[in-house]
Structure 1
Amino acid sequence: MPVRSAGLLIYRFFETRLEVLLVHPGGPFWAKKDEGAWSIPKGLIEPGEDELSAAIREAQEELGVEIQGAFARLGEYRQPSGKVVVVWSVEANATLSVQQIQSSEFQIEWPPRSGRIQNFPEVDRAEWFPTARAEIKILKGQRAMIADLLKQLG
C-alpha cells in the first residue's frame, strides 16, 4: 500500500483574481530551488488518524496558524514517488498573512557525514500566487490540484 499524505489547497480571492497559498520547503536541499519546488501544506497521515484531521494538523504545523473553514474534498493525487496525497480545498480566512507563518522544525545531519545535527524549519516561507504562476512554482506532481480547484470553483 502506498504512503498516504493529506494536505490543504488554501485559496483566496484577491481583488478579482484567484490565488493559492503555497509553501517552500525548508532545509539545505531546497534552499536554492524555486520553480517546481513549492507545495501545498501537507504531510503524513498518522496511523488511525482521520485524513481531513491530518490535513488540518499538517497545515497548522507548517504555517503556525489554525486553518478553519468549509473544507471541500478535492481528490487524491499519486506523486512521482508513488505517495498518494489526499487534498481538500478551503477558502482562507481574511486574516491569514504569509508574514506570520511559524513552521515547526526538523533535524538532519548537515553537512552530510559531518556528525553535526542541525534544525531547519519544515517551511521557510509561504506565498500567495495567482493560479497561472502557481502552476510554475508548484511541484510537478501537484499541478493537477490547481486545475481541479479551478473546476471545483467553476
Structure 2
Amino acid sequence: MTENGARIVAGGALTRDGALLAARRTRPAGLAGRWELPGGKVEPGETPEEAVVRELREELGVEARVRDRIPGEWALGRGYVLQVWTVRLVSGRPRPLEDHDELRWLPPDRVDEVDWLELDRPAVAEVMRRLRAAGPGAEL
C-alpha cells in the first residue's frame, strides 16, 4: 500500500535488445485489445518488487529480476495506483499465459504502433527515453 492507503498494481518494463515488451489484454471487456506493461496487484505481505517477479512468472512464464522504479505513480481508480519497475529477463521466453493473447517487442521507433492503455503511457515514455539514451541494443 502507498502512504495514502491505495493498493499498488506493479508493472514490469521488460527490455531486450533495445526493445520493450508490450502485452495485449484479453479482459476485462473494456480493456481487451489494448496494450500494457505486464504486471498485477500486490498481494498482502508482498513487496511491489516481489509482485512484479510473481506476475511475470504467472503471466509470461519467465523469471525476471527487478532493476529500477520508474518515477511516478498513476491513479487507476477504486483505490489503486500503478507503479512500474524496469526488469531484466533471467530465464525463459515470454509467452502469453494469462490475461494476454499477444506479445510484441517494440523498439523506440515503433512504440506507438500499439494502442497502449492511457495509464501505461507515461511509464512507457520514460522507458523509451532511457532506451534511446542507452543506445542501440540496450537493456534497462
Q: TM-score, normalised by structure 2?
A: 0.73
Q: CA deviation at 1:39?
A: 0.6
Alignment partners' CA distance in 1, 2:55 and 2:11: 7
**1:9 partner SS:** strand
User: Match for 2:82: what amino acid?
Assistant: V
**CA apart distance, 1:125:** 1.8
**Do the aligned partners of 1:7 and 1:59 also contact (CA within 8 Å) in 2?**
no
In 1, are the aligned partners of 2:24 and 2:32 still within 8 Å (CA)? no
The residue type equivalent to 2:9 in the other structure is S
- SS for the counterpart of 1:87 is strand
- Over 3 Å counting, the alpha-carbon distance change for 1:74 and 1:28 in structure 2 is closer
Q: Is residue 10 of structure 1 aligned with residue 7 of structure 2?
A: no
Q: CA RMSD of the aligned region, Å?
A: 2.7
Q: CA deviation at 1:131?
A: 2.6
Distance in 1 (CA, whole Å) between partners of 2:67 and 2:125 is 17
Amino acid at match of 2:105: W
Distance 1:9 1:64 in 2: 15
Tell whether 2:133 aligns with 1:141: no
Identity, in percent, stands at 28
Structure 2 CA distance for partners of 1:12 and 1:135, relative to 1, 3 Å: same
**Cα distance in 2 for residues equivalent to 1:28 and 1:54:** 20
Question: What are structure 2's unaligned runs of at least 5 residues?
Answer: 134-140
Shift in Å at residue 27 of structure 1?
4.2
Would you say the 8 A contact 1:135–1:143 is kept in 2?
A: no
* Alignment partner, residue 84 of structure 2: 87
For 2:99 and 2:8, the matched residues in 1 are separated by: 18
What is the aligned residue count? 126
Q: Deviations over 1:121-144 (max 9, x none)?
A: 412121111234324522111111
In structure 2, the residue matched to 1:78 is 74
**Is the 2:62–2:93 contact (alpha carbons within 8 Å) kept by the matching residues of 1?**
no
| Deviation string, structure 1 residues 48-101 (Cα, Å, up to 9, x no partner) | 211100111111111012123x611213421453631121112445x7544xx1
Aligned residue type for 1:122 = D
| 2:55 is aligned with 1:58 | yes
* Cα distance, 1:144–1:29 mapped onto 2, change above 3 Å: same
Q: Name 1:45's counterpart in structure 2.
A: 42
Larger Rg belongs to: 1
Structure-2 separation of matches of 1:131 and 1:79? 25
Q: What is the DSSP-based 3-state SS (H/G/I as helix, E as strand, rest coil) of the residue aligned with 2:14?
A: strand
